[in-house]
Structure 1
């Protein structure tokens, strides 16, 4: 049985994580359908404890006290410790940005990012969430998760257009996912961010369960030129991390 005030406080933190430009008390109350008095009291407590902060415009943001908590959470994920050296080696080999992500409900959440010297600007950062249907990492989960789980997830989400290349037709998406499963990696061809091309592969655990996904992302023209070598390095790295998690 959940405690209502605790659930509301967690909802506020989750909301602020998605609105990094800050939100007012009214914005928060409206989006979470909370009474303004309750919203004010919850924010006051969170602010006093350092879990949220407020600027001169009376907008609220996530607070500094969450930083060590987030770091500890990442460190407690064994996969983060196992994968880090392999992700670093992959980044050095391909000289592009490398990511690792896991599923959080119906969305993708980034848990690691390795920047190369020539990394491009992207909105993806550790802790950030992205749609599952239009990212290379997300489509890796959809390609390799059990069929029933995939269908249930696709039934719950809406395929919204984000760029000109975003696939919003479910049949077309499912055909693509079948191909990705056969070839062992997935592709995001400027479907979530213009100019960004991404290749991604799955990570499995000792129970042969899909645990995470890793990717290499960069400008499309540069990625296409080195696509074959990147795929080779990507799949090899995914295998090494999976082995480190006990997968045989």
Structure 2
């Protein structure tokens, strides 16, 4: 809830996000100007974050992410052995369909890509592990958003303008909710050129032992492949999500 919001943490998060995107490029004054935080406050934030190991200051007094975040990231990935399970299970699915599979989690209103299993498909998917993308524009995001009811979804996007990544991207909450509702019914979600023009995706959610969505997996392909392989890709991505859910301790069907 907004009344319990801690502005200093929000500013620290903005600093980390910017440093993740532009490591070793930005000085204190650059961060201050880019984020609209005055220099004295920025100095205090960076000094604290540097002491905690969240950031490090390098040559030219530029900043990058620190080792403490690496430890936290490693701990996050160890939680469910999800990456290992993904690579063990996804290889056979990618081979059967002949298209790239991606794994992602929900990070606020974005998807955070964790891993991908590529094939010899002629077009390479450019989203790499560690990248973020607006959830409303992706099949992965919509599969992950099926954990929300309407009120929770509205709260998540209460102050959000829906960025149109392509002419096909959903542009308001009601459109998104209709797609999320249909994805709940289907057990999978689609992205029809909504994230990147020319690309089609289909995703399914992965559940943990307590029947909560912890991640999602997707196929990405071009239009011709989508028309030829939709049924195969749909069945395969749903089955892959089921296998990963079982490995995470999920027992409901």
TM-score by length of 2: 0.79
Count of matched residue pairs = 247
Counterpart of 2:20 in structure 1 is 17
* C-alpha contact 2:150 2:177 (8 A) present in aligned 1: no
Q: Report the alpha carbon displacement of residue 64 of structure 1 after superposing the two structures with TM.
A: 8.2
Counterpart of 2:95 in structure 1 is 92
Question: In 1, distance between residues paired with 2:124 and 2:74?
Answer: 23
Give structure 2 stretches of 5+ with no counterpart.
Answer: none
Q: Report the alpha carbon displacement of residue 81 of structure 1 after superposing the two structures with TM.
A: 3.0
Counterparts of residues 167-186 of structure 1 (less than 5 Å): 167-186=170-189
Give structure 1 stretches of 5+ with no counterpart.
Answer: none
- C-alpha distance 133-8 of structure 1, shift in aligned 2 (>3 A): closer
Establish whether residue 141 from structure 1 lines up as the match of residue 144 from structure 2.
yes
Counterparts of residues 40-51 of structure 1 (less than 5 Å): 46=50, 51=55
Establish whether residue 127 from structure 1 lines up as the match of residue 130 from structure 2.
yes
Question: In 2, distance between residues paired with 1:175 and 1:10?
Answer: 31
Moved more, 126-135 or 164-173: 164-173
Question: In 2, distance between residues paired with 1:120 and 1:20?
Answer: 28
The superposition leaves residues 85-132 of structure 1 with CA deviations (integer Å, 9 ceiling, x where unpaired) of 112222222221111111122221111111222263444221111111
Secondary structure at 1:194's aligned position in 2? coil
Question: In 1, distance between residues paired with 2:11 and 2:161?
Answer: 25
Question: In 1, distance between residues paired with 2:23 and 2:190?
Answer: 28
Q: Say which of 59, 79, 83 aligns to 2:82.
A: 79
What is the root-mean-square deviation of aligned Cα atoms in Å? 3.4
Secondary structure at 1:160's aligned position in 2? coil
Secondary structure at 1:180's aligned position in 2? helix
* C-alpha contact 1:75 1:81 (8 A) present in aligned 2: no
Q: Report the alpha carbon displacement of residue 181 of structure 1 after superposing the two structures with TM.
A: 1.7
Question: In 2, distance between residues paired with 1:54 and 1:193?
Answer: 36
- C-alpha distance 210-222 of structure 1, shift in aligned 2 (>3 A): same
